[in-house]
Amino acid sequence: MTTIYHNPRCSKSRQTLSLLEQHGLDPEIIEYLKTPPSAAELKNILKMLEMTPRELLRRGEDAYKQLGLDDESLSDDRLIAAMVENPVLIERPIVVHEGRAAIGRPPENVLDLFA
Active site residues: 10
- Separation between Cα atoms, residue 48 and residue 95, nearest integer Å: 10
- Separation between Cα atoms, residue 39 and residue 19, nearest integer Å: 28
Among the listed residues 10, 9, 3, 15, the one whose alpha carbon sits nearest the alpha carbon of residue 44: 3
